[in-house]
């Protein structure tokens, strides 16, 4: 078990850690996990579990937000008999959410989890840790993402409380086709460990 300082000791809000670890428990390591870029990617890489190789697809560089959804569609077409779950943040999802139209047109049964913290989370984390919380252009006001999914005929749900999380992920896993789950998560949760720009591994940061 990786040491993880609690971002919400009272358990009032859903954390990204809880969302990904619950997904791993429900899917039992059998799903293909595709991520977008950002904190959602880092949490997925740390806490997902896999029973086989070729089960984790992510963009390892260049900050390619928007990668997740189209990549997940390709993965599902490549392995139609496996569950494919795309994990995204609210920022990355909105960069390529028009691919919901591709899902509708081609009946692609990909599952989608949007971790919505109303921020460009990875950039916000750097601004918090290294620039005294002088947040600049990282806060996002999003439309109702479930209504957008509904407009494309995709079943959907939004959860805001920890007690709703497991049931919602089980509902996503049991859905026969495409499904979008929006999870409202802690706005200022950070992902660790991280190495500051230009630093060595001995300067690793494990907590805020």
Q: What is the pLDDT of residues 158-190, one digit of tens each?
A: 999 999 999 999 999 999 999 999 999 999 999
Residues 81 and 194: their CA atoms lie apart, in Å, by: 36
Are 73 and 103 in contact by the 8 Å Cβ rule? The answer is yes
Reported confidence tier of residue 62, pLDDT bands at 50, 70, 90: confident
pTM assigned to the model: 0.92
Residues 17-25 have a mean pLDDT of 96
Q: What is residue 6's predicted lDDT score, i.e. its pLDDT?
A: 53
Using DSSP's 3-state secondary structure scheme, residue 184 falls into: strand
CA–centroid distance for 98 within its chain: 18
Count the Cβ atoms, other than its own, within 10 Å of residue 135: 15
Closest CA to 121 of 91, 160, 83: 91
Q: What is residue 9's predicted lDDT score, i.e. its pLDDT?
A: 56
pLDDT of residue 24 exceeding 80, the answer is yes
Q: Is 16 left (phi over 0), alpha (psi -120 to 50) or beta?
A: alpha
Q: What is residue 7's predicted lDDT score, i.e. its pLDDT?
A: 57
More confident residue, 96 or 198: 96
Closest CA to 10 of 162, 164, 207, 128: 162
pLDDT > 90 in the chain, percent: 82
Level-2 CATH architecture, domain 16-203: 3-Layer(aba) Sandwich (3.40)
> What are the pLDDT digits (tens) for 50-61?
999 999 999 988
Q: What is residue 10's predicted lDDT score, i.e. its pLDDT?
A: 58
Residues 107-111 have a mean pLDDT of 98
The residues spanned by each domain of the chain are: 16-203
Q: What is residue 11's predicted lDDT score, i.e. its pLDDT?
A: 66
In angstroms, how far is the first alpha carbon of the chain from the final one? 19
Residues 80 and 97: their CA atoms lie apart, in Å, by: 21
Work out the mean pLDDT of the chain and round it to a whole number: 93
Residues 141-160 have a mean pLDDT of 97
Q: 10-19, 76-85, 152-161, 173-182: lowest mean pLDDT where? A: 10-19
Closest CA to 40 of 75, 9, 65: 65
Q: What is residue 1's predicted lDDT score, i.e. its pLDDT?
A: 47
């Amino acid at each position: 078990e990786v040491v993880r300082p609690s971002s919400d000791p009272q358990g009032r809000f859903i954390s990204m850690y809880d969302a990904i670890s619950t997904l791993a428990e429900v899917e039992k390591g059998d799903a293909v996990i595709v991520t977008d870029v950002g904190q959602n990617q880092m949490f997925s890489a740390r806490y997902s579990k896999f029973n086989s190789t070729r089960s984790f697809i992510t963009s390892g560089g260049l900050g390619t937000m928007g990668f997740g959804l189209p990549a997940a569609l390709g993965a599902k077409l490549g392995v139609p008999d496996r569950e494919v779950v795309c994990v995204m943040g609210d920022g990355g999802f909105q960069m390529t959410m028009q691919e919901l139209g591709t899902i509708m047109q081609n009946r692609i049964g990909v599952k989608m989890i949007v971790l919505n913290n109303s921020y460009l989370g990875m950039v916000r984390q750097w601004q918090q840790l290294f620039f005294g919380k002088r947040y600049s252009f990282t806060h996002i006001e999003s439309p109702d993402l479930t209504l957008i999914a509904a407009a494309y005929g995709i079943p959907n749900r939004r959860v805001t409380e920890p007690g709703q999380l497991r049931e919602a992920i089980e509902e996503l896993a049991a859905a026969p086709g495409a499904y979008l789950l929006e999870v409202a998560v802690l706005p200022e949760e950070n992902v660790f460990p991280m190495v500051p720009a230009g630093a060595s591994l001995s300067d690793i940061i494990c907590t805020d």
